[in-house]
Structures are given as C-alpha cells and as structure tokens.
Amino acid sequence: MHKKNIAELVQVLQHRDISSVELTRLVLERCTNINQKLNCFISITPEHALLQAKLADEKINQGNAGPLTGIPIAQKDIFCTDGVKTSCGSKMLDNFIAPYDATVVEKLNNAGMVMIGKTNMDEFAMGSSNETSFYGPVLNPWDMDRVPGGSSGGSAAAVAARLVPVATGTDTGGSIRQPASLCGITGLKPTYGRISRYGMIAFASSLDQGGPMTRTAEDAALIMNAIAGFDERDSTSAENPVEDYTQHLNNSIAGLKIGLPKEYFDEQLNPDIGRIIHEGVKELEKLGANVKEISLPGSKLSIPVYYVVAPAECSSNLARFDGVRFGYRCNDPEDLSDLYCRSRGEGFGREVKRRIMIGTYVLSAGYYDAYYLKAQKIRRLIRDEFRQALSKVDVIIGPTAPGPAFRINELLDDPITMYLSDIYTVSVNLAGLPAISIPAGMLGGLPVGMQVIGNYFAEPRLLNIAHRFQQVTHWHKLAPAGFD
Ligand code: GLN
C-alpha cells in the first residue's frame, strides 16, 4: 500500500479493497517504525488519525467520498492543528497545543484526509538542512549521513520514504522546493497569496507560502484543488478565482517557450547538476517546447536581499514569543525584563537568534535606509526583471539547488554557504511567483531536482509541464533503498 500515490489510493479506497481505518493502521505502524530511523515526525497522532479514518469510511460507505477522502497526510509542524501540539520545531513552542486549525488544515480535514502526524522542520522554518530543529536533525532516506534539506525536511523525508503520499510544506525562500529536490520528490510553491497563511506560524510574512509535497505532479494538483483559494482571515490572500488544477495536466506543451537564465548555469553550479537540468530540458523539447537563453542579472543579489528582508520580518513576527502569553517561560524570573530575556534566550535556538539580531539591526533607526530600504528597492528590481522575462517566455527553468544533499554537520558552522543553498529559489519568493521542483536525475545515488518557474497564478501550467515530464521520465518513481 505504501507504494501507492494519492491517485492510486483513491481507487483502492473507493473500490473498498481496503478501508480507511485499515489503511491508517498500516500507515501509522510504518511511520512509527521508520520514524525511529529518520526522525521525520515531531508528533504521530494515532487517535486523531483513526477518528478521521472512521469518518472517512462512513463517507465512502455512504457514497459521499471526494477525491481525497481517507487519504493519509502529514502536516508540517508549522501549521496550527486544533488540540495537537504545534511546535514549529522550537523549544519555544514545545508546550503549545494549538486552539484552532490553520485554514490549510481545516480544508484538508474537510476534504476527508487523515492526518497521521506533524513533521519535523527547521526551527521556525529557518534553515536549509533541518539541523536547526529543537527535535534533532531529520535524516535523508537516500543516505542517512545526509540532510533532507530544509526547512520542510521532515515532510520531504516522509514522502520520499513512502510513509505518506503527501505532506504539507511551507516555502519562504525555498523550503518546499529545496528539500523536494534533495529527497527526490515533487514540491510546489504556489503564487504568494494563493494559499491562506491563516494559522501558519509566520516567519517572513511577505514571503511565506504553503504548498504540497508529493511524489507526482498529479497528486500535487489534487491537493491544490483542496487548499487553494481566498480566505478572509488572511488579508494577503488572493481573490483570483481558483481553477481545477487537474484539468490541464494532460495538455500538450508543444510551442511552450522556456527561458534558461544564463546566471543559473554559471561556474557556481556543479557541472553535473547543469548537465542533468539540460537533459531534463531536452525531454521537454522532445515534447515540442522551444528553448532560449535569457538573463536575470539581479538574481545574484537575491541572497543578500533575502537575508535582509526575511530576518527583518522574522524579528518582528517573533517578538510575540515573550514568555507572557504562550510558549516557553523561564523559571523564577526576577522581574519583567528578566522574564523576557531569559524566556527568549532559553527558548530560541542559535539560528533563530542570529536572524532576530540581523533583523533588528537592519530595521534600527541608523541602518534602516542603508539596509532594509535598499533591500526593498532591489527586491522590486528582481520582481521587475522576472516580469519582463516572463513576458517573453512562458516559464523559466533551472536547477532547484546548487548540489545534491550535503552531509549532516557539513555546513552547520558555515551559515553563508548554507544560505547559498537557496540561491536558485529565494528570488522566486522575493517576486511572489509560483515554482515547482521535480525529480530530474540522480548524482552519485542522490536525487537532483529541476525547478520550473511560472508567471503569477500559472500553477495549472506548471503542473501540466511537470505531469508531461513525469509521463516520459522515471525519476519520480525511484524509491530510496530500504524504503521501496
Ligand atoms: N533556507 C531559507 C532560510 O533559511 C529558506 C527557509 C524557508 O523557505 N522557510 O531562510
């Protein structure tokens, strides 16, 4: 059963070859066993899951099932889940039981999905390796000495190891796409505002966006159908009408105009990754796509801009964790200031503190113009450059990450190199565009992802391209040894 993707599981559930309760029991057992190796879950929630599975069986038996009824899912532990611990990978929220569901969770529950548990992640989604989690690192199922990527590393590892067919992720600078690439799965970062951020613990509010992590593009489309749409509880949520994301999956891509930015294929890129991406693009050319070189000179500035904007927003968002209202509180504070200082000092990890300090610095009166304001101006230039490029080509293709999965501890003391692992992904968040990472090859036994970036709200087109690619390639079908 664990080999089946969503589209296949729907068939067995609706033919009643297996009930949702039986399926859930199998999945819970597999998750509990394998989690001891991979550490991809912070919480596994059997009671919650079996209750939802029972309800799903009732719907199926009454003939009221939808396309996701009874399908297991894992939620990244950044999404609030009513009555279930929501830690965001931090000691700060280790004791936090969310009193309500995030919109994404509510919608997936309403679609009849069965939540198996909450996945491990970098603390407050800050990281590219899952090593900043209070709950310890997640191991990559392809090589357990390596990281799964981050910050949605638990979700990526759980889907790659065939524990669940889908997990949610969030992407502020690459956290859906980069772990998808490093774990050999499909990860879609939707247009900013397409998925509600209500109940998704905020890291950098102008960049954060939730999305699906699945094995196939078809499954990502099924999940998008359930979670996309306007939400009046999120003031930045987009009012654009929602399409049926499964409808265009099989469309022809003949005549598709692909732009390859020369800056994405320069000497910084591992040449083997470059070769894999070019081979992937050739597959699309065989399906009728046309390729031309483009230039995105501003992309070189995306890392410095991101590491001003994201910490600035995080320093403001994380100010709420002060030991007073919820979350961790230090023992025996002497006075209010001691309560603030020690609760935050003890509750946050090193990377989070580093970001808060950078953020408060770039927002401070003396440095605001030099750093924050300048970063915002360059952010606009980056967005304009994408807009211009996307008026000439339909999609932009490049690598998702500069290399395959790196070793645990390899970059932990080298934050700059760690930050560079998002070099191809952060500019997409700065511009608010949608992008998908799809498995496109293997390098030394490790998966490599190809990134397809589209225009605003072009998710149906991205899913169509990814689906056509997956019809003629087998990379997304490969499973790590021992998890197949
Ligand atoms: N790795 C990037 C960071 O550390 C992006 C994280 C994310 O997308 N949540 O900020």
3-state secondary structure 228-293: ECCCCCCCCCCCCCCCCCCCCCCCCCCCCEEEEEHHHHCCCCCHHHHHHHHHHHHHHHHCCCEEEE
- CB-based contacts of 410, cutoff 8 Å, min separation 6: 147
**Arithmetic mean of pLDDT over the chain:** 97
Question: Measuring from atom 4 of ligand 1, which residue has the nearest CA?
Answer: 127
- CB-based contacts of 426, cutoff 8 Å, min separation 6: 173, 174, 302, 303, 306
Task: List the one residue out of 167, 95, 174 whose CA is nearest residue 127.
Answer: 174
**Confidence at 268, pLDDT banded by 50, 70, 90:** confident
Q: Which atom belonging to ligand 1 lies closest to the Cα atom of 203? A: 9
Question: Measuring from atom 5 of ligand 1, which residue has the nearest CA?
Answer: 173
Mean pLDDT value across residues 416-431: 94
Q: How many CA atoms lie within 13 A of 149 on its CB side?
A: 38
Ligand 1 centroid, distance to 153 Cα (angstroms): 11
Ligand 1 centroid, distance to 151 Cα (angstroms): 6
pTM of the model: 0.98
Ligand 1 centroid, distance to 430 Cα (angstroms): 12
**Which value, to the nearest 10 degrees, does the dihedral of the CA atoms of residues 292, 442, 464, 390 take?**
-30
Element (H, E) at 201: none
Catalytic residue among 20, 76, 299, 437: 76
What is the Cα–Cα distance from 32 to 237, expressed in whole angstroms?
36
| Residue 151 annotated as catalytic | yes
Instruction: Report pLDDT for 128.
Output: 96
| Residue 337 annotated as catalytic | no
Instruction: Check whether 417 has a pLDDT greater than 90.
Output: no
Mean pLDDT value across residues 196-225: 98
Instruction: Check whether 416 has a pLDDT greater than 90.
Output: no
| Residue whose CB lies within 8 A of the most ligand 1 atoms, among 172, 411, 451, for a mutation test | 172
Looking up tokens 């390596």, which residue turns up?
146
Query: Parallel, antiparallel, or unpaired for β 290-294 and 257-261?
Result: parallel
Instruction: Check whether 459 has a pLDDT greater than 90.
Output: yes
Q: Which amino acid is at 303?
A: I
Residue spans per domain, the chain: 300-377
What is the DSSP secondary structure assignment for residue 137, as one 8-state letter?
A: P
Q: Which atom belonging to ligand 1 lies closest to the Cα atom of 176? A: 8
- In tens, the pLDDT along 60-98 reads 999 999 999 999 999 999 999 999 999 999 999 999 999
What does the buried/exposed string (b/e) look like for 11-37 if buried means 16 or more CB atoms within 10 Å of the residue's CB? eebeeeebbbbebbbebbebbeebbee
Backbone angles phi, psi at 55, to 5 degrees: -60, -40
Neighbours of 353 (CB within 10 A): 14
- In tens, the pLDDT along 141-189 reads 999 999 999 999 999 999 999 999 999 999 999 999 999 999 999 999 9
| Residue whose CB lies within 8 A of the most ligand 1 atoms, among 76, 90, 119, 151, for a mutation test | 151
Q: Which amino acid is at 184?
A: G
Ligand 1 centroid, distance to 257 Cα (angstroms): 30
Ligand 1 centroid, distance to 104 Cα (angstroms): 20
Looking up tokens 């083997």, which residue turns up?
272
Q: How many CA atoms lie within 13 A of 62 on its CB side?
A: 10
Catalytic residue among 20, 175, 343, 437: 175
Instruction: Report pLDDT for 415.
Output: 86
177-181, 404-408, 413-417: lowest mean pLDDT where?
413-417
Ligand 1 centroid, distance to 294 Cα (angstroms): 26
Note the Cα 201 to chain centre separation in Å.
14
Catalytic residue among 19, 90, 128, 151: 151
Q: Which atom belonging to ligand 1 lies closest to the Cα atom of 418? A: 1
DSSP E strands in 58-108: the ranges are 72-76
Instruction: Report pLDDT for 18.
Output: 96
**Confidence at 26, pLDDT banded by 50, 70, 90:** very high
Cβ-contact 435, 299 below 8 angstroms: no
Our CA angle for 132, 137, 142, nearest 5°, is 130
- In tens, the pLDDT along 309-366 reads 999 999 999 999 999 988 999 999 999 999 999 999 999 999 999 999 999 999 999 9
| Alpha carbon separation from 36 to 2, 31, 41, 140, 165 (Å, rounded) | 18, 9, 9, 13, 19
Backbone angles phi, psi at 442, to 5 degrees: -130, 145
Ligand 1: list residues with CB < 6 Å.
125-128, 151, 171-175, 203, 310, 422
Ligand 1 centroid, distance to 426 Cα (angstroms): 8
Ligand 1 centroid, distance to 172 Cα (angstroms): 6
The two structure tokens encoding residue 348: 């946050």
Instruction: Check whether 413 has a pLDDT greater than 90.
Output: no
The two structure tokens encoding residue 338: 């001691």
Mean pLDDT value across residues 211-224: 98
Cβ-contact 232, 192 below 8 angstroms: no
Evaluated on CA atoms 178, 181, 184, 186, the torsion sign reads: positive
Question: Measuring from atom 10 of ligand 1, which residue has the nearest CA?
Answer: 126
What is the Cα–Cα distance from 350 to 229, expressed in whole angstroms?
36
Q: Which atom belonging to ligand 1 lies closest to the Cα atom of 306? A: 10
| Residue whose CB lies within 8 A of the most ligand 1 atoms, among 416, 417, 426, for a mutation test | 426
Instruction: Check whether 129 has a pLDDT greater than 90.
Output: yes
Q: Which amino acid is at 115?
A: M
| Residue 286 annotated as catalytic | no
| Residue whose CB lies within 8 A of the most ligand 1 atoms, among 122, 205, 302, 400, for a mutation test | 122
